[in-house]
Amino acid sequence: MTLLSVNVNKVAVLRNSRGGATPDVVRAATACLDAGAHGITVHPRPDARHVRADDVHALAALTRARGVEFNVEGNPFAPPRAGYPGFLALCEAARPAQATLVPDSDAQLTSDHGFDFRGDLGRLRELVAALKALGCRVSLFVDAGDPRIERAAEVGADRVELYTGPYAAAHAAGDCVEALAACVDTARLARAVGLGVNAGHDLDQANLGAFARAVPGLLEVSIGHALVGEALHAGLDATVRAYLAILGDAAR
């Protein structure tokens, strides 16, 4: 069965909009784990607009105590600044099970593209090696349909995370055949060069089942925005269990 890692960034967004400590990010993550989620994901950004460095440390302690995986996402090239020590330094302190590298800029509202594997990837290779030396499994955020997917393996990554935004948009429009086929083909290419396959971005209860049934060897999905939005109506426990049921059905 594909594992579910819940991204709790949106809980931090709500907290930060008012200040203070409510809603509590660790409490929300605990509720997700109590409902059966397999892990927790965060994407701390340099401007600290949602999850902050202190949240990363607290969630690292929670996931370590619960014996589940912690996935920290971010741009490894973003320079340190006040309140943000840099991605590598955060991972060195938190020691997540997985570090997912994403090529987003400070100005981006959300991640919307994978790595460009053209040209010299020497610096990326160095960062992957440094993260693996910390004991992190390393995944690279990639576009479905990228013909250079084997370069993710060349720089030492263990997995790729398929950017599923285009698939989700096509599914909502009522015609996702081509977008889903691109994800399937890219997953097959990744597996052929020894890479594991994760996926994330805009996956929800409406589109997850078809995706999980179609994509071969799908190891993990990280879902935050839709899950937290749905949980405002149904509650975290019921929403997490609904996602787990979808993944369980897809595995049968």
pLDDT in tens, 81-110: 998 999 999 999 999 999 999 998 777 667
Is the pLDDT confidence value at 4 over 90? yes
89 secondary structure, DSSP code: H
Q: Is the pLDDT of residue 249 over 80?
A: yes
**Residues annotated catalytic, as ranges:** 43, 73, 201
**Statement: residue 112 has pLDDT above 90:** no
- Spatial contact of 171 and 207, defined as CB atoms under 8 Å apart: yes
Under 8 Å between Cβ of 211 and 163: no
Q: In the CATH scheme, what is the homologous superfamily, with its name and number, of domain 3-251?
A: Aldolase class I (3.20.20.70)
Read off the pTM: 0.96
Separation between Cα atoms, residue 32 and residue 239, nearest integer Å: 9
pLDDT score, position 139: 98
- Vertex 32 angle, CA 179 and 233, to 5°: 75
Q: Strand 137-143 vs strand 218-223: parallel, antiparallel, or unpaired?
A: unpaired
pLDDT at 113: 80
